[in-house]
Amino acid sequence: MVIPEVSLLYAKQPDIIYPVLHIVMCEEGIEKPVEKHALSKEKIKIFFFLVNDENNPKQQLRMLSSIIDIAERDHFIRDIFSSKTRREKKEIPCFLKTMFSQLSVKPDQ
C-alpha cells in the first residue's frame, strides 16, 4: 500500500510494555533515498514510527490499521498542514498519539 507523502515504519521488539509511536512532520517534505516498485517520487511529509511488543501482534495490526485509515483520508496532508498557529501545529501529533494510544490498551484475547 502506498500513501502519497506518508511513510509508515514499524517494528516488533521483546518486552515492550507500551507501544511507542513517533510522528515526525515536515511541511517541505524530505526526499527518500530509495525508490522501488510502487513507491512514489513524492517527498515524505509525515513519518509514523511504531514499535510494539513482539508477543502482541494483534495490537500492532490494530494500530497499523488505524494509522492507515487516518492517513488514507482525503486531504489528510492538506488538513494537517493547514494549521495556522504554531500551537495548532504542535497539537496535531499529540492528538494523533492520543487517538492511537486508546487502541494500545486493549489486551489480546
% of the chain exceeding 90 in pLDDT: 21
What integer pLDDT is reported at residue 51 of this predicted model? 94
For residues 94 and 103, give the distance between their C-alpha atoms in angstroms, rounded to a whole number. Answer: 15
Q: What is the pLDDT of residues 28-43, one digit of tens each?
A: 998 876 565 655 667 8
pLDDT at 24: 87
The pTM assigned to this predicted structure is 0.75
Q: Was domain 6-104 assigned CATH 3.40.930.10?
A: yes
pLDDT score for 29: 92
- Residue extents of the structural domains in the chain: 6-104
Q: In what order do the strands lie in the sheet with 6-13?
A: 6-13, 44-53, 20-30
